[in-house]
Structure 1
Amino acid sequence: MHRIVHFDLKGAPLQVQYFEKVLLAAKAWGATGVLLEWEDTFPYTAALADIGSVRGSSGDGMYSMEEVRHLLRFIKDNGLEPIQLVQTIGHLEFVLKHPAYHSLRELPRSPAVLCPSKPEALQLVKMMLEQVLDVQLDAAFVHIGADEVWHTAICPECQSRAANSVHSTASLYLEHIRELALFLKQKRPELTVLMWDDMLRTVKCETINAYQLGELVQPVVWQYNALEYFQIDPYLWESYRQIFPKVWAGSAFKGANGSCQILSPVSRYVSNQEAWRLEIKKYGHSTHFVGVILTGWSRFDHYATLCELLPVALPSLASCLRAWTKSDDTPLESAVSEVLPSSQWPGEELARSVHSFVILRDRCFAFVHGDLVKTWLNPWQIENGYTNPVQVEGLAASAQQ
């Protein structure tokens, strides 16, 4: 099985030299490939120059075309499978935030979702895919995203199309995906097209089959919960078995424990890997799992604050990859490590500094909002100079600890 590590570069692109160290570490820990989610860090050119790194949309000039080519070559030369991800309908804030593309929004006040009824919209994402694939002539895979399409059949054109289709609202999404997959297959017949599966889960088998998606794409079924909360409806596997010859698992090593978390709890993420191992063991006899993509989200969308920084999450990544390479009779606890040896931890100093910050932040919060301050140094007492001096001395001593 493939073990693909996902790098979400939106909002936190990695310097190339640092990225190389992380890639080599991931390979040593058991990764077999890399999924690069560029968003606006890709150097789109010509008519698309405004949405990528060429015009500074990422704010730091990363990446140049030379750097992109170098990274793809570096990944391949080190025995990893490079896969590029381009969002093609949802999570397109980095494109639809620009005034030139406002008219392509499904919901005018939201830059998240592309309207699939506008010909210019389909042409836009085809151009994006074309430019990304042009820098990877030997690509075996491409990922078209297609998850969390929050707004559907809102614009008048989409409503009309949905009303006149035997497959109703689902037809809008499925036709868009089919057109993109056909475009990619015509351009590169041997290319395997991946997509997140969440928008397919509630669609009937016969509807998906009507759009021939089983012949065109391989879905990545994502579920990020720890073992005790992990649940996938068995009916989903039964349905997908009738449609897709091959499927992928989607787990997480960071960025799935809250939208603004600072630390990556290793045990929690390793538990998610174990849940997936058990799921594949249970259904692998009838469902062909090609591999697992270990996602590492940097932020929930283009406007969100960052989740855990990558150096902080590397012990989690190492542990999660170990969970996939350990034998079945090896205890799960053996895969869990909150720290890494210095030689295996790119960015260790930053990671340890973040951990120290969290400890100090929590200690300060506990002090400021604790009983001592509320009891002997509340706003009324400060305003009136009315409190016990001995207790204030104790508070001062506590504050210095």
Structure 2
Amino acid sequence: MKNSEMSGSSPFKMRLVHLDLKGAPPKVSYLSEVFPLFHALGANGLLLEYEDMFPYEGHLRLLRAKHAYSPPEIKEILHLATLNELEVIPLVQTFGHMEFVLKHKALAHLREVALFPNTLNPHEAESLALVGAMISQVMELHPGARWLHIGCDEVYYLGEGEASRQWLQQEHNTKARLCLSHIKAVACHVLARHPTTRPLVWDDMLRAIPEDQLSASGVPQLVEPVLWDYGADLDIHGKALLMEKYRKCGFLRLWAASAFKGATGASQALTPTEHHLRNNMQWLRVAASGPSDMLQGIVLTGWQRYDHFSVLCELLPVGIPSLAVCLQSLLHGGFAEDVKAKVENFLGISNLEITDFISEGAGTFPGSDILALVTHVGLHLRSSVDALLERDRYVTGWFSPYHRRRRLIHPVMVQHIQPQALSLLARWSTVVQELEAALHRVFYPDAVEEWLEENVQPSLRRLQGLLQDLREAASPSPYVGQDP
């Protein structure tokens, strides 16, 4: 693929950065710092997945997270996006991944399966009314949006609810039909009220549906599918065939979705850049092999949680070098030396390492301090505590779990173990204080607390536990100075 200075050479006219706000949503002040970087790197759009960060009003107010953006903040985000030539596409889940809605007692009766809050029951009139209300509030704050993403991915347990079981017993009714009818209802709802807005949907629920059923459903005239695959070795030929199938069914436009972070493990803390670079390169090859006029663009997804209830994966600042590598490679058709030099220049990193985690203390981009500290913690905190607790000869030989439970220790050993443990705790406490301050500049308090509790506290607690046991074991024994 030829390297070119011009972004015109990219097969993806639109290059959207996905901001997943269902975990560690950045403060608006941080977005104001990174939007210019996104633009400089070659992005020209944003896919904003608000989830519970949207300021829902009225009967939907209960959906708001504690630190949800206010309407003026949403306006400010959109203003910042416009300043940086980033077109905004809002995303509202309307079928699967509805945990943030259906977890609430007042709305639990709209679950497809009573036990699980992820999927909406498509048979209830109230379900469509609920989704419609969410859409109209979001669209009200995004007037003139050319696209609205209505989600519809991973609609787990569809067809397993009571109403669905009965419906599926009737002739010709299938899960595919049930899925398509709900997508169609939501898309029609959007188009009736916002005729110039095109609904986008994730494509995973459509992939296996036979061509004739898709064609007959009327859905291809209403939505634009976003074909997503985050694998480093995605099947190029298979994707080209899928695009061809969608074209035959009557879909006029398609989108691709790669990932720059949040796709390699639910609890991943550091971003494996090379995986994401390979994924985006595979998408370039898919674009080259398919009908080029159909592809509207590519969404670089940056998941922050796998779902509403899972832990945080890589924080946005941690994924920025990967985003830079992916965007620039999509723009220039590969990651040659000159592209690497451009990325290093944009990020203020002297030597970008894509196979390993970034060299520590690197970068001058917004949030690079977080990247450096998270990398340091991720690579060394646990291993340094393990080294002391599980491999230090004094600890393993004279203060084993057996000794610790019985508070037994040879007094001379306290002098071997305690200074080491105290110095390790002091070193890490300094790093963690610095990290905590850096995180508070970018994130709201609950996200900071969650990240530290998951990634830092377990190791520090083990260290503090050792010191506590040492103190108790070393306190004067009742036997001292007494006759045996």
Give the structure-1-normalised TM-score: 0.89
Separation in 2, partners of 1:385, 1:69? 63
Separation in 1, partners of 2:329, 2:382? 32
- Which residue in 2 is equivalent to 1:237? 243
Structure 2 alignment gaps of length 5 or more: 1-12, 350-362, 425-484
SS in 1 for 2:178: helix
Matches within 5 A, 1:107-122: 107-122=113-128
Separation in 1, partners of 2:284, 2:422? 47
- How far residue 33 of structure 1 moved from its aligned partner, in angstroms, is 0.2
Separation in 1, partners of 2:176, 2:214? 9
Counterpart among 4, 15, 19 of residue 3 in structure 1: 15
CA contact (8 A) 1:251 1:295 kept: yes
Of the two, which has the highest radius of gyration? 2
Separation in 1, partners of 2:238, 2:391? 45
Separation in 2, partners of 1:44, 1:193? 20
- Which residue in 2 is equivalent to 1:49? 61
CA contact (8 A) 1:316 1:337 kept: no
- Which residue in 2 is equivalent to 1:102? 108
CA contact (8 A) 1:205 1:239 kept: yes
- Which residue in 2 is equivalent to 1:14? 26
1:34 maps to amino acid: L
Out of 339-348 and 270-279, give the one that drifted further: 339-348
Taking structure 1 as reference, are residues 98 and 325 closer, same or farther at Cα in structure 2, changes over 3 Å only?
same
- How far residue 267 of structure 1 moved from its aligned partner, in angstroms, is 1.6
* Cα RMSD for the two superposed structures: 2.9
Matches within 5 A, 1:196-215: 196-215=202-221
- Which residue in 1 is equivalent to 2:374? 354
Matches within 5 A, 1:229-378: 233-234=238-239, 235-243=241-249, 244-285=251-292, 288-327=294-333, 330=336, 334=340, 340-341=347-348, 345-358=365-378, 359-370=380-391, 372=393, 378=400
Structure 1 alignment gaps of length 5 or more: 53-57
CA contact (8 A) 2:268 2:314 kept: yes
Counterpart among 129, 139, 149 of residue 143 in structure 1: 149
SS in 2 for 1:102: helix
Q: Percent identity?
A: 36
SS in 1 for 2:246: helix
CA contact (8 A) 1:253 1:320 kept: yes
SS in 1 for 2:215: helix
2:54 maps to amino acid: F
SS in 2 for 1:199: coil
SS in 1 for 2:298: strand
Counterpart among 341, 365, 379 of residue 401 in structure 2: 379
SS in 1 for 2:205: helix
- How far residue 118 of structure 1 moved from its aligned partner, in angstroms, is 0.5
Separation in 2, partners of 1:98, 1:376? 53
- How far residue 375 of structure 1 moved from its aligned partner, in angstroms, is 6.5
SS in 2 for 1:219: strand
Counterpart among 39, 51, 56 of residue 27 in structure 1: 39
Out of 234-243 and 21-30, give the one that drifted further: 234-243
CA contact (8 A) 1:367 1:399 kept: no
1:351 maps to amino acid: L
CA contact (8 A) 1:83 1:141 kept: yes
Separation in 1, partners of 2:265, 2:248? 34
1:281 maps to amino acid: A
Task: Deviation per CA, 1:232-266: give whole Å up to 9, x if none.
Answer: 62542332121222111101111111001111122
Task: Deviation per CA, 1:361-392: give whole Å up to 9, x if none.
Answer: 233235434485657754346669799x89x9
Task: Deviation per CA, 1:292-345: give whole Å up to 9, x if none.
Answer: 000011111111111111111111111111111124583698377699328851
CA contact (8 A) 2:144 2:197 kept: no
Task: Deviation per CA, 1:33-74: give whole Å up to 9, x if none.
Answer: 00100011111112211112xxxxx122x2111111221222
CA contact (8 A) 1:266 1:337 kept: no
Out of 217-226 and 321-330, give the one that drifted further: 321-330
- Which residue in 1 is equivalent to 2:224? 218
CA contact (8 A) 2:260 2:326 kept: yes
2:33 maps to amino acid: K
SS in 1 for 2:289: helix
Taking structure 1 as reference, are residues 137 and 339 closer, same or farther at Cα in structure 2, changes over 3 Å only?
closer
Separation in 2, partners of 1:269, 1:88? 28
Aligned residues: 393
Task: Deviation per CA, 1:253-294: give whole Å up to 9, x if none.
Answer: 111110011111222211111111112112245x72111000
Separation in 1, partners of 2:310, 2:263? 14
Q: Does 1:173 align with 2:201?
A: no
- How far residue 355 of structure 1 moved from its aligned partner, in angstroms, is 1.3
- Which residue in 1 is equivalent to 2:90? 84
Taking structure 1 as reference, are residues 16 and 224 closer, same or farther at Cα in structure 2, changes over 3 Å only?
same
- Which residue in 1 is equivalent to 2:353? none
Give the structure-2-normalised TM-score: 0.74
- Which residue in 2 is equivalent to 1:157? 163
- Which residue in 2 is equivalent to 1:55? none
